[in-house]
Amino acid sequence: MRAIIFKEFGGPQVLQVLSDIPMPEPTINQLLVRVKACALNRADILQRKGKYPPPPGESDILGIEISGEVVGILNPSSEFKLGDRVFGLVGSGAYAEYCVIDESCAMHIPDKLSFVEAAAIPEAFLTAHEAVLTLGELKPSDSILIHAGASGVGSAAIQLAALTGATIFSTASSDKKIEKIKSLGSAYLVNYKKDDLFAEIKKLTNNQGVNVIIDFIGASYLANHLELLQPCGRLVIVGLMGGTRSEINLGLIQSKRLQIKGLAMRTRPIQEKRHITQLFKTHYLPFFTEEKLKPVIDSIFSFQDVQLAHQRMEDNANIGKIILSY
């Protein structure tokens, strides 16, 4: 089969398409899928640079979410059948013509969605669901600050938060991105390249702050986040683009009874991924058919143009998900 591989760590130029890669062999709990589309993630960039190896036992091939057609089933009692359109999270291996997926992590693609649209959903919406609703414990009366509102996870988080009825503040790095995400449900949007982000949020909240923060930045924002959270507030750390080390004011955490929670999807045990998938499948997948939720797609690249796709993500130029289509 064809697959995208790299033989040394480095920039997008190390990626190459080879046609003689062995096909994966499914176990009794897995489906073999002919991949129609997959989406890029920051994890792919880090793995390509040698900073984020795949979990033990997983393929070295990049990619953690797929959409495609079932072409192999070993479980005789499977809920799936050959030819079914499916999508979901995988441990790795999405940048290939064929990929295996745990059966309990696979979902049927809603009839209204294309393979490209479906590929833009799993990592973004499952991560956002876990961040906003499970760890963030967002309630209708809450306010929430969602960073990187134009990213895949950020745009999904805004939509899920909007379904709860909470008051949403979100950020983006340009007026173009702000304009693009206006319709997703944020009450307030801040261009952090133009405005003093935390001063602006304090002003918009009348110095009250927010109940929940979805953080992709990490260390460089930590002190401001602790100041901005209301008593009993929850800080959910999804990314660490601003570093991993910072001093913590424990007194502030104690006096305001704050919670700091970390979230990583790729390294979760398969049992947890199954649970997260089934929870989302039951409660939120129907909203895509009703068009109350929608994947935000930035651009679509062919399999051969993977280097250009990676460069676009590294340039932080995307608004929503970048898709590879086969």
Q: For the full predicted model, state whether its pTM sits above 0.85.
A: yes
- Tokens standing for 1? 């089969």
Neighbours of 181 (CB within 10 A): 24
Q: Burial code of 159-179, b = ≥16 C-beta within 10 A, e = fewer? A: bbbbbbebbbbbbbbbeebbe
pLDDT, tens digit, for every residue of 233-263?
A: 999 999 998 999 999 999 999 999 999 999 9
Digit-coded pLDDT (tens) for 266-286 = 989 999 999 999 999 999 999
pLDDT higher than 90, residue 326: no
For residues 45 and 62, what is the distance between their CA atoms, to the nearest angstrom?
9
Largest CA distance in the chain: 61
pLDDT digits (tens, 9 = 90+) for 133-142: 999 999 999 9
Average pLDDT, the chain: 96
